[in-house]
Amino acid sequence: MKYYYHFVVNPEAGSGRGLKVAKKIEAIVKKRRFPHQFYYTEYAGQEQELTTSLLAQVLLPWDDIYRENSEMLYPLLVVIGGDGTLHQVVSSLQESEKNIPLGYIPAGSGNDFARGMRLPKEPEQVFWKIAGTATPQSVTIIKYHDQIQDETGFAINNIGIGLDASIVYAANHSAAKSNLNKFNLGSFAYLSAVVNVLFRQKGFPILVETNGKQLNFTKAFLCTTTNHPYFGGGVAIAPTANLNEDKIDFVLVERVALFKIFWLLALLTCKKQMRSRYFHHLSTNKLRIVSTVPQHGQEDGEEMGKRPFDITITTTKQLIWIMLKKSVIT
Residues 117-129: pLDDT tens digits?
999 999 999 999 9
To the nearest 10 degrees (0 to 180), the angle between helices 46-57 and 83-96 is 40
Query: Domain map of the chain by residue range?
Result: 2-135, 143-317
pLDDT tens for 129-176 read 999 998 899 999 999 999 999 999 999 999 999 988 988 888 777 655
Q: What is the DSSP letter of 173?
A: T
Model's pTM, two decimal places?
0.89
d(CA 261, CA 57): 52
CB atoms within 10 A of CB 41: 21
Whether domain 2-135 has CATH 3.30.420.40: no
Q: Mapping DSSP to helix (H, G, I), strand (E, B) and coil, where does residue 324 land?
A: coil
Contacts of 152 (CB under 8 A, 6+ apart): 143, 144, 145, 146
- Mean pLDDT value of segment 240-249: 92
d(CA 216, CA 232): 26
- Length in residues, the chain: 330
3-state helix, strand, coil in the chain (%, to 5): 35, 35, 30
Residue 61 pLDDT exceeds 50:
yes
Residue 15 pLDDT exceeds 90:
no
Q: What is the mean pLDDT of the chain?
A: 88
Q: What φ, ψ does residue 126 adopt, rounded to 5°?
A: -65, -45
Residue 77 pLDDT exceeds 60:
yes
The continuous run of DSSP H or E covering 151 comes out as strand 151-155
CATH C-level class of 143-317: mainly beta
Question: Which pLDDT value is given to residue 9?
Answer: 98
CB 301 within 8 A of CB 84: yes
